[in-house]
Every structure is written in C-alpha cells, then in structure tokens.
Amino acid sequence: MTYEDAGNAGLLDQQAARESSARTYPRHLPFAIREANGVELTDMDGNTYYDCLAGAGTLALGHNHPVVTDAMETALDNDRPIHTLDITTPAKERFVDSLLASLPDDFSENAKVQFCSPAGTDAIEAALKLVKTATGNDDVLAFRGAYHGMTNGALSMMGDTHAKAELSGLMSGVHHLPYPYQYRSPFSEAGDKAGTTAARYVERFLDDPGRGFGDPAGLFVELVQGEGGAVPAPDEWTREIRRITRERDIPMVVDEIQSGLGRTGETYAFEHAGITPDVVTLSKAVGGGLPLAVVVYDESLDVWEPGAHAGTFRGNQLAMAAGEATIDYVLEHDLDDHAERMGTRLREALDALEARYDAVGDVRGRGLMLGVEFVDADAEPDDAGARPADEDLADRVRTECFERGLVIELGGRGGSTARFLPPLVVDEDDIDEIAAIFTEAVTAAVNAEVTA
C-alpha cells in the first residue's frame, strides 16, 4: 500500500514512529491531509474541515490560491532560478517593490530591507543584531506574554517560561515589561485603564536611574500578541510606547510576523495606532505560503558591515514570486477591509457565547486574528475581574471543534484561548458555518464539564 492509499491512522502511526517527540499539532489534530483548497482541508479518510489555523496565519489567500500557484508555475516554466543567496533577480526586485508598496509611505520611503533565513524567528534574530549594532547597547526590552520564535534570542524574549524552563545559556539582558492585557491585567485596573497604567509604568521604569541596566538596544513588541492569546494592544498605549521610545532614542521593533499583511483589519497592525516604527519583522503571509522572512527598518540603523547577517535560504525565489502575488492580491482586493468585516461577523457569534456562558471569560482580537479565553466559571474573579484560566475546557472545545470539522488551535495563558486565524479570503457563508460549529463545540464542552 502506498502512502496515498493509507488512511489517517496509517500515516499518523508512521509519523509517530519516525518523528521527534517535539512534534505538536498531530497530538491534538489527529489527521493527515490529502487535499487543501481555499479555506478547506480534506484528510486521508475523506473528511473535510474548515481551516482556522491556516499555517499559523501563513496562508493569507488560503490553500492553493490560483494567483499564488500561477506565479510559482510561471517561474518554474521559464527556468527562473530557485535559489540565489542574496544575488538579485527580477523576481526579487518585484517582490521588494510590492513589499514596500504595502507599507505606509512615511516608513517605506526611508526603509532598508534585509532578507533572512526563512522563518520568522530568523527575522527576530536579525533585528536583534541590527539594533545592538546600531546602538552599541546590549539590553533589550520585551513584554510579558510575548512570542517571537524558538531560536536563542527570540526564545529569550518569550514570555512563556515553560518553553525555556529546561534550557540554559539563553540571551542575557532581556527585561520583560507588563503588556496591556485588558482582561488579565498586570495591574489592578482592567480595560482601558490597564493600558494607561502599563504605559506609565514603562516610562517611569526607563527613567529610573536604579532600574538595574544601561540604555536598551531596542524594544520588541507584538501589537496583537498571537501565540499569547490574540491579545491586542490599545491604540493609545501603542502611541505612548512610540513616544516614550522616540524621546529616549530606543529603536521600536514591531513584530508583524503573524499580524502583518491584512490580518488585523489594517495592512499592518501598527497602522491602527498611526505610528511609524523603526523596525518591522515579517514572515508567514509575505511569502505567499512559502518560507520567507525579512526585516524592514529605517535607514539610520543601517550601519552593519557586509556579511553581518546572512542565511543560505535568504534567496528563496519561489517564495518571492508567491509573496509578490500574495501582497499584490491583498492590496488590490482590499483584504484588510474584508478581514475587518469578516472578523466583525465572526465576533458577533463569539460575543454571543460570552454572554451565554460564564466559562467564556473574554473575546478579543482584531480583524481575523481573534481569541476566546476559557475560564473556571465557578472561581472568584480577581481584583481586575478575571477568573482563572481553564485550559482543560479549552482543550475539550478544540476536540469538539475537530470532531465537527473545524480546525483551531489554542494559545494564551496555559493554552486556555481558542484562536481563529482563517485565510483572509474566507467569505460570509464560511464565517457563518465556522461560527455555528464553534458554538456547537462550546456548548457540548461546557455541558460535558457540568455533567462530569
């Protein structure tokens, strides 16, 4: 029997026998994928699913969108190079044209682009080297709840201590600041007041001569924390952080690896607040579903020497062709506005669940980057009104979704938040089906908990 003739169980058994114990998704999404088209997946047993994971937000146009496949086929049919290190090609220059056109003029007109090894975490490592080289400083600022990747520097800035508990030798000099998590506030205030207090804390912290370290090389921030549970930063907080960093000559690095290219209802998440960052890290959607990572930054920081940062696969030409096609399609079809409309439609159903069940503690996010946090409905709220996270209930909801044909993943504190990252091309009918399945799954999971 060939692999193509095997069912889910056969391929899952083969995978378990040969792949490392670090594999993740197959443990909670026990299927093998045979076909993928648009927002749907078909497994080896013929079951279909709505894909609200979409490569962790990578597939902005969904699976096998014709503009992406056509761009790759054209490159292959015309004997274009596949790999060029950082030697330029027409495909590369067109990709840079599209990339810069997608960014606000006040940022792109003074921007430089660094191509990195293909994962988003490589862009974070490059950005770390960039700001340390440009400033001559070593310490960096990050935020609680952050997720920037799984390599040394990126992992050091991660907020989740579990992921790095068994590791030594991580990058030193990382200082984690409170993030304005409006539901689970780091202070006693919740809602908008959490953002005001968090910004004031950062400013006073940086101005304190007893803070315990020298001038920072940079501040790294996600304006919607993705793996942290789809937690959006309030716009006023973002503007305050930009003011604080600018006044103190601290480069502000915005991690748009998951939030970029229309995902949050703007082309880039930093546009909600109307700020201009110093550095933007990008991957996932900008490669059109293929591996590609870049750092775009203000030319004033461009002081490193030739070869200061490299990466063998920074010349992935197919990814540049796919990325150009994806960026152009997102811009031409206003998929940022579409994501905002579809996100609002989905959120109405999610808000209805929050009103119905005490176990739904918070619904949040922006555009098509949404999260539903599950909590212990029987526990007393804390001073800010938040109940303890209920990761067991969230896990049951994910399982109930999967059994009904909906693929979601979990994130946030203890994995208690159901996350929605569907392709940006999802339509109203898809959204309504996704909402209906999720509603059924939550109802089943909550009722199972009550009767257990």
Q: In this structure, are 126 and 20 located in the same domain?
A: no
Q: In this structure, are 148 and 34 located in the same domain?
A: no
End residue of a domain, out of 285, 300, 332: 332
The pLDDT value given to residue 289: 95
CATH number of the CATH domain containing 277: 3.40.640.10
Q: In this structure, are 357 and 264 located in the same domain?
A: no
Q: In this structure, are 264 and 349 located in the same domain?
A: no
pLDDT tens digits in sequence order for the chain, 452 residues long = 699 888 999 999 999 999 999 999 999 999 999 999 999 999 999 999 999 999 999 999 999 999 999 999 999 999 999 999 999 999 999 999 999 999 999 999 999 999 999 999 999 999 999 999 999 999 999 999 999 999 999 999 999 888 888 888 899 999 999 999 999 988 877 777 788 999 999 999 999 999 999 999 999 999 999 999 999 999 999 999 999 999 999 999 999 999 999 999 999 999 999 999 999 999 999 999 999 999 999 999 999 999 999 989 999 999 999 999 999 999 999 999 999 999 999 999 999 999 999 999 999 999 999 999 999 999 999 888 899 999 999 999 999 999 999 999 999 999 999 999 999 999 999 999 999 999 999 999 999 876 66
**425 near 52, Cβ under 8 Å?**
no
Residue 180, domain extent: 68-332
The pLDDT value given to residue 96: 98
How many domains does the chain fold into?
2
Q: In this structure, are 181 and 277 located in the same domain?
A: yes
The pLDDT value given to residue 193: 79
Q: In this structure, are 413 and 356 located in the same domain?
A: yes
Q: In this structure, are 429 and 368 located in the same domain?
A: yes
